[in-house]
Structure 1
């Protein structure tokens, strides 16, 4: 068995593409070999900024002869079908086998030299390589058929054992030579084969293993920080990125003027990390340290002093810009910043960010006044909602969009606004992802919930729900965030009531109408004295002079986008959407989706806290013997009732069997207990009441014939089973439960 080395050398590969490219090279190469019947014992992959490489271990000198069997048409098929099959296999009819009226072809392929297979495979891999972005270069780039690569391809090393595999890809021909480090060893290196590749390059200041470079960066950065009493803020993504920028990584510690620490720490961290690719440090007290670690690509003769000085100078300019933004933004009050939100379009059909802020402020206040979010001051909540998006127009957020909300919180605190307002501005986007913290401060909860609910209703109102894998407005994430806010804070939030909150919902519809008027024109202007709008019974009514404008009729007659339909209430679709998101969330938490279906199937349950309490009690119950047996009895009763419905015209007879009477007595006792428990939201007690039906139901089915010849007896027994089903449905629809 022999090893094969392949190196593809080019100009610098972007760091973000390297690891995926290394995986793709191994995958494509393995697939090409598999087509020829070869399977390496193992593949080692390497990547640096200037090269992709792999070593395929344990390849035979030649492929084994293989016999392939192909099934063809029936012997009675038209001649054209047989001719096509013969062309495909390259055989003649007398070489086919007739097996029970079907033609079969057995094609014997002789073995090939592995060198020949490799010579064909490598160019195929290069030409099929799936770079996210690629380029053409040189004279060959005048045609679209020329080679495309991430950066100009400069060299190919392809050695099988000790033999060179002759490969030519346009202007590049394979050889034994590669290049070492761009500065430490820019000359050619002769590679003898797979066994000496890694160490020869290491001797020339190139570490070909991305993982090894990451380990070096992490370890030496920690050592450099510790030598000055600092610790590195863990950032695995930045470690990987620096490993993708260097072939010989050398972490170096530098410092910056402590005066810059007056700028919010998040700004400094982003400046260091995003702009400069530096590691951020903390001091012994856990505060941001006035120092950084950069990763050089050389071992400098002066120990890196000049490199550190250059990086310090660049960083000082960056931090000076950040400090300027911080100082300039604070000269304007947040309320004045908020006045500029009308210049930013939220969505072409939903108006501006200022329109959204108005809606969110109304809803957030209502959530507090209705007692859905308890413990919040309504005035502070509305103030926070009106200022929550103000930092979108600041210089700092323009430079660092990642800091929206965060900077608003800092500006609010610097302005002397109440802490509850500043905290709500800072955290109202949370929770952003599954692992993000969930706000619990009442004002923050109200603003965050209102912001996300407004987004969901607005986009469903314009018929822009997520489809398949597409979710351009992150509505799935918004719904999951709502669910987490409700669950963590135990909010008694009836979704239907919230969605139909008249004034806020009217504002959503108003935004649609205003956008429709703006885009299509109704011959109306807000400043027209004859035009006015009023709210009557919570609904927006438009007047022109004394004539009521029928918005729905206008929308139907206009040529405006049909996706805006004022007649279709999006609430039903939105509730279904929440049900689906709840299943996803609870499945990850270990809750069975069929149990959620069983509760949702009852209809009218839109209080998520109550719904989840019911689901959790149901899951505990069905896991017990009583629950499993009651479920079996319920399903037997339900199946009978599918075939034999209760006939209201038949007067039921009195119970004639002991088991029948026992079940009737058990129902008389259990039904009111279960109903009261459900009303009081004691769902475990409701399940316990239903559990008392288990034995009577079992005994009933063992000794009672439901479909008695006597219609009165049959009617009584069917009515009894109907009561069983109804009693169970008071808690959940057991027909939705699997198993």
Structure 2
């Protein structure tokens, strides 16, 4: 059977840009998977996915016209059911054979084989391999059905049907063409009301010919580029845009570089078929506005690439990726400059207006912004974060730090009620910093206002100073404790309040900054503040706020209860325990993702280390211990001791040396007197690895003890003394980690 390349293309109206790459990869991937499964393509066939604004396509090498025939063995029924006592076929067997297109003549050829405990009859036949037309029809239907379509459209087919809506299909966008070429031959398939051919269409305005008639499957990309003015490959188009952006920046000079944004580059790649990068500019006076505002409006609203200078400062020039390449691009450039100007003017207006009021004067307005109907307003939340931040700052610093952290926490959410953040929510925190500096506040406080949201995502930087750390920890702990306290726990993939991200942020700050803070203490501080009814009641201290709350309560605006407008919602008493378990669970998952073994992680975290900054050192010590030849025996012994002690509630760590008659228990006691003080001293100094290395010297006396000594002696005082010895040993061995978790 002949083998050739296969090309399948769906030509559609403009696809959703943010989903294009995923759609293209899924379309091509399912087609290949289905064809390989049907034996129409080789396992080593090379797949090339194509995706442009108006097409999804796949090119696959080594595809055959027909799959090879397959031997099929089908179980019919047990022999006792299919054949009577004389060996003749029963009606049940004949009926089953008839359903398979066979008759009584097939009975002598039936195969007998054991199926479990009974012998069964099997019918062996040869199934003809699917033709490419049959297999591709099935594969295409599967590929369309499995597309990760964000939103489906229903549209009427262009078939000249008499009744409106009589013939309609559903797809991500209306489809207008289908190409299916095996080599240079059209494969007769249909999809979405379309019959396959060899014609496609190029660029809407710049195609040299229309339609583009494809010669064969292998000429697809080249013909589209030469005749259709379209770069069909998403990756090739993306690389071309990146190259043009870099070249244009060099041409501008002064060390200019386009802003790096992979998501923006992907989206622009999905918007153009043949990119053409142009240099545009705006009035330099707009640079008085914080560059984050200008960059965001250019990227989010216009899909432009701002240019930064060598010091990473925004310049007044930007790059546009156009979908057309006119001989004179001045009209395109002027049009884009004209469009961006009002956007920048709006940003300047918001910035100027916002600076007319101080951040401190805006705090009162947060009392009118609902945070959660069980947790109150943003104003109440700010009060809680202030108290938590002060408590944290007092533990890691002095009174001055506590005062700064309190001030930063009070102002951290004030920019939520500014015009700029109202227009661009992504700038919350960033604008707060600018407005704080404008108000003449200390730089440490201003930085903390911006940094209290950090880390926002995996790999994001941490707050830059101690004030920011205190407020960031307070903000995240308030969210965790508050949401857990009212029962809003993440479930499965659902985490609407980003509690997993908040927990990871707490973990990163405690570990990477090696803060001398205990996790239990931190969570308890937050819980006590959230559970303080007086704090919540006392927040409403102005007549205006009380009137507003009463009005909202009377109007059914979701506010109920006492002076604040919200009913007192006592937190679940188990909240601290739940939050702490959640944080340790997130920590364990993160450590495993970083390559630590599950046994080592479990051993370290089973002790619930309070200073999370110690966890990496503890984990390193356990990893070094696990590599020792003594480790398996000591881990097993620890497990055995743990099991013995669980069954012996009467045990206590007191040991009487006079009640150690056996040489093995005397030797263990003497070894412990020598080794344990050294290991304890190393542990107290933070040398966890050295402590475990020292304790590994106990392997031989521990092994001898279990070989030669009966722990559960009939004599009570001997038994209790031996249990005390084991309890002392168990406590000493498990200070760094619960070593029994390392046992296989």
TM-score over 0.5 (shorter chain): yes
Single out whichever of 56-65 and 74-83 deviates more from structure 2.
Answer: 74-83
CA distance in structure 2 between the aligned counterparts of 1:249 and 1:446, rounded to whole angstroms = 47
In the TM superposition, residue 593 of structure 1 has moved relative to its aligned partner by 4.1
Partner of 2:184: 162
Q: CA offsets, 1:657-713, max 9 Å, x none?
A: 433322111223344444555556554454355234233224444555667788876
In the TM superposition, residue 227 of structure 1 has moved relative to its aligned partner by 1.2
Whether 2:732 is the aligned partner of 1:727: answer: yes
Single out whichever of 663-672 and 500-509 deviates more from structure 2.
Answer: 500-509
Aligned with residue 28 of structure 1, among 30, 51, 61: 30
Partner of 1:113: 131
Whether 2:295 is the aligned partner of 1:281: answer: no
In the TM superposition, residue 111 of structure 1 has moved relative to its aligned partner by 3.3
Whether 2:401 is the aligned partner of 1:383: answer: no
CA distance in structure 1 between the aligned counterparts of 2:38 and 2:631, rounded to whole angstroms = 58
CA distance in structure 1 between the aligned counterparts of 2:97 and 2:399, rounded to whole angstroms = 81
Whether 2:294 is the aligned partner of 1:268: answer: yes
Matches within 5 A, 1:289-300: 289-300=315-326
> Does the CA contact (< 8 Å) of 2:22 and 2:148 recur in 1?
no
Partner of 1:252: 278
CA distance in structure 2 between the aligned counterparts of 1:84 and 1:681, rounded to whole angstroms = 79
What secondary structure, in the 3-state scheme, does the structure 2 residue paired with 1:154 have?
strand
CA distance in structure 1 between the aligned counterparts of 2:137 and 2:617, rounded to whole angstroms = 65
Task: Say if 1:457 and 1:181 are closer, same or farther in 2 by CA, change over 3 A.
Answer: same
Task: Say if 1:91 and 1:509 are closer, same or farther in 2 by CA, change over 3 A.
Answer: farther
What secondary structure, in the 3-state scheme, does the structure 2 residue paired with 1:3 have?
strand
> Does the CA contact (< 8 Å) of 2:407 and 2:445 recur in 1?
yes
> Does the CA contact (< 8 Å) of 2:514 and 2:614 recur in 1?
no
> Does the CA contact (< 8 Å) of 1:653 and 1:713 recur in 2?
no
> Does the CA contact (< 8 Å) of 2:5 and 2:217 recur in 1?
yes
> Does the CA contact (< 8 Å) of 2:412 and 2:452 recur in 1?
yes
> Does the CA contact (< 8 Å) of 2:655 and 2:724 recur in 1?
no
Single out whichever of 338-347 and 691-700 deviates more from structure 2.
Answer: 691-700
Single out whichever of 252-261 and 164-173 deviates more from structure 2.
Answer: 164-173
Matches within 5 A, 1:208-607: 208-229=232-253, 230-302=256-328, 304-369=329-394, 371-373=395-397, 377-501=401-525, 504-507=529-532, 525-526=562-563, 566=571, 568-602=573-607, 605-607=609-611
CA distance in structure 1 between the aligned counterparts of 2:557 and 2:226, rounded to whole angstroms = 71
> Does the CA contact (< 8 Å) of 2:588 and 2:605 recur in 1?
no
Question: Unmatched 5+ residue regions in structure 2?
Answer: 83-89, 541-548
> Does the CA contact (< 8 Å) of 2:636 and 2:740 recur in 1?
no
> Does the CA contact (< 8 Å) of 2:486 and 2:571 recur in 1?
no
In the TM superposition, residue 638 of structure 1 has moved relative to its aligned partner by 4.5
Partner of 1:561: none
What secondary structure, in the 3-state scheme, does the structure 2 residue paired with 1:55 have?
strand
CA distance in structure 1 between the aligned counterparts of 2:425 and 2:10, rounded to whole angstroms = 38
> Does the CA contact (< 8 Å) of 1:359 and 1:507 recur in 2?
no
Single out whichever of 29-38 and 120-129 deviates more from structure 2.
Answer: 120-129
Partner of 1:547: none
Task: Say if 1:510 and 1:216 are closer, same or farther in 2 by CA, change over 3 A.
Answer: same
What secondary structure, in the 3-state scheme, does the structure 1 residue paired with 2:326 have?
coil
What secondary structure, in the 3-state scheme, does the structure 1 residue paired with 2:196 have?
strand
In the TM superposition, residue 439 of structure 1 has moved relative to its aligned partner by 1.6
Whether 2:197 is the aligned partner of 1:175: answer: yes
Partner of 1:48: 52
Question: Unmatched 5+ residue regions in structure 1?
Answer: 534-541, 543-550, 552-563
Single out whichever of 9-18 and 500-509 deviates more from structure 2.
Answer: 500-509
In the TM superposition, residue 726 of structure 1 has moved relative to its aligned partner by 3.2
Partner of 1:61: 65
Single out whichever of 407-416 and 586-595 deviates more from structure 2.
Answer: 586-595
> Does the CA contact (< 8 Å) of 1:18 and 1:49 recur in 2?
yes
TM norm structure 2: 0.85
Q: CA offsets, 1:418-477, max 9 Å, x none?
A: 111110111110111221111241111111110000000001101111112221111111
Aligned with residue 200 of structure 1, among 216, 223, 231: 223
What secondary structure, in the 3-state scheme, does the structure 2 residue paired with 1:346 have?
strand
In the TM superposition, residue 9 of structure 1 has moved relative to its aligned partner by 0.6
CA distance in structure 2 between the aligned counterparts of 1:396 and 1:522, rounded to whole angstroms = 28
> Does the CA contact (< 8 Å) of 2:645 and 2:651 recur in 1?
no
What do you get for the CA RMSD once the two structures are aligned?
A: 3.7
Matches within 5 A, 1:80-95: none
> Does the CA contact (< 8 Å) of 2:112 and 2:122 recur in 1?
yes
CA distance in structure 2 between the aligned counterparts of 1:249 and 1:715, rounded to whole angstroms = 83
Whether 2:156 is the aligned partner of 1:138: answer: yes
In the TM superposition, residue 87 of structure 1 has moved relative to its aligned partner by 8.7
Single out whichever of 214-223 and 443-452 deviates more from structure 2.
Answer: 214-223
Task: Say if 1:87 and 1:480 are closer, same or farther in 2 by CA, change over 3 A.
Answer: farther
In the TM superposition, residue 49 of structure 1 has moved relative to its aligned partner by 0.9
Q: CA offsets, 1:540-560, max 9 Å, x none?
A: xx9xxxxxxxx8xxxxxxxxx
Partner of 2:544: none
Single out whichever of 140-149 and 488-497 deviates more from structure 2.
Answer: 140-149
Whether 2:674 is the aligned partner of 1:669: answer: yes
In the TM superposition, residue 2 of structure 1 has moved relative to its aligned partner by 1.7
Task: Say if 1:384 and 1:567 are closer, same or farther in 2 by CA, change over 3 A.
Answer: closer
Equivalent residues, number:
704
Q: CA offsets, 1:143-181, max 9 Å, x none?
A: 698321222111111222222223344543222222121
CA distance in structure 2 between the aligned counterparts of 1:225 and 1:334, rounded to whole angstroms = 38
CA distance in structure 2 between the aligned counterparts of 1:159 and 1:523, rounded to whole angstroms = 67
CA distance in structure 2 between the aligned counterparts of 1:268 and 1:523, rounded to whole angstroms = 41
Partner of 2:213: 190
> Does the CA contact (< 8 Å) of 1:279 and 1:293 recur in 2?
yes
What secondary structure, in the 3-state scheme, does the structure 2 residue paired with 1:58 have?
strand
> Does the CA contact (< 8 Å) of 1:653 and 1:712 recur in 2?
no
Partner of 1:536: none
